[in-house]
Every structure is written in structure tokens, then in C-alpha cells.
Chains A and B, each alone.
Chain A
């Protein structure tokens, strides 16, 4: 299978501080990773697409200066929440894209990390 790790799993910080979350694909290379935010009892909300060696692509309404994304290698993407505030408290999940092959051609799959619970006091 494909394994994606995420660290830390849980973080509590004071308002105004910055928090870095790491996402690693452990057994495959991922040129593309994704960062999601999930509110209680809701589905996933895509924040940004992280591309190895280039700038991230942010979804509409997501502040790129607040949520800094770096994808420095084929197995690591980081999300830094800068100057965190209580409204940034949420469950953040990353995923890594893997390309599979079938008789019909190639297809994309996403494998998710276990998530990071961020609480900003």
C-alpha cells in the first residue's frame, strides 16, 4: 500500500505564533500533494495543491501568506500556519497523489495522512 505520514498529530499553540505541519509519502514519490482543512462533521475542504519544485496553487479564499506551503522534495510537503489565531483551529489533512496504471490508461489516487489537530489558544 501507499503510506502517508503527518507530523505532528496534535498541536496547541498561542495566538500569534506559527505552526509547521509536515506531510511525508513514505513508500512512493509524490510530485503533487494536497492540503485540506476539515471542520467538524463536514467533508474535506481543499486549501491548496502543493507541487514539488514550484509554487503551490491555492484555492479561492485561502490566504497564501497565511498558509505557507513548501514542497522541497518528492516525499515532503510542509504547511506553515503563520500568526495563528483561534479561528485557524481545525483539523488539517494532507494527501499525496500517486499515479496508477490500468489497461484503460493512467489514473490518479490520493492517499491521506492521519491529520493534524491544531488548537490555537
Chain B
């Protein structure tokens, strides 16, 4: 069974702090997506990484795909209350997509 372990599950930080969310697996993925979901809405795709070692930046968010394409990280610099939400990673391999359990981030003003 493929698993995608996401950590931490919950994170509560002050505005301005930095944080990193991790997704790890023993499986190799052809691509990995990161989503953000707010209450009562569907997940919104933030980024797709496809190449081992790839780094993508989206304003204060930095996404990295591991060299072996088994793991990924999301780093947020100077978090803001607007970053609050559920962050999901999803690894795609073949036909199946595996979702992490999610990281619930709360940024306090």
C-alpha cells in the first residue's frame, strides 16, 4: 500500500514566523501537488513539481521535490494570517494519486 506521510498534522504559529511542512513516502511519484483548502471550499492547487530536485517559489512559499521524487517540502516565510488553512500534498504515480493526511496551519495575528 502506498503511503504519503505528511507532518506536522497541526501547526499554530505567530504572524511573521517561518514554517516547513513535509511529505514523505517510500514510493516514487511522477509528480507531486500541493493544495491549500479553506473551510467549506474545495482544495486549490498551489503547485505541481515533476523533476527530482526541483524547487518552485510562489511569493513567500517555496516548494521542493526530493531528488528521488519520494518526498517534498513546503516552506512558508513570514507567515501571515491569510496563510491559515489546510495544506495537502498529493503524489501522483501511474493512475493513482495518494493524498497526505493534511497539515492544519493556524497563523495568529
Interface residues of A (CB under 8 A from B): 2, 4, 6, 34, 41-44, 46, 91, 93, 95, 100, 102-115, 117
Contact = CB atoms under 8 A, between A and B. Distances in A.
11 contacts: A43-B101, A44-B43, A44-B88, A44-B99, A104-B30, A107-B30, A107-B92, A110-B45, A110-B97, A112-B43, A117-B40
Contact of B51 (A93, A102, A106, A114): A102
B33 A6 contact: no
Nearest to A6: B42
B100 A100 contact: no
What are the 5 A-B residue pairs with the smallest beta carbon separation, nearest first? A107-B31, A112-B42, A108-B92, A43-B102, A115-B42
Given A42-B102, A107-B92, 5 more contacts: A2-B45, A107-B48, A110-B92, A114-B41, A114-B42
B51 A109 contact: no
B20 to A, nearest CB: 19
Contacts of A100: 31, 48, 50
B90 interface: yes
A109 B101 CA distance: 18
B31 A108 contact: yes
Interface string B6-33: 0000000000000000000000001101
Nearest to B32: A107
A35 B17 CA distance: 36
A47 to B, nearest CB: 13
A41 B104 contact: yes
Given A109-B33, A109-B92, A93 B100 contact: no
Contacts of A114: 41-42
A109 B42 contact: no
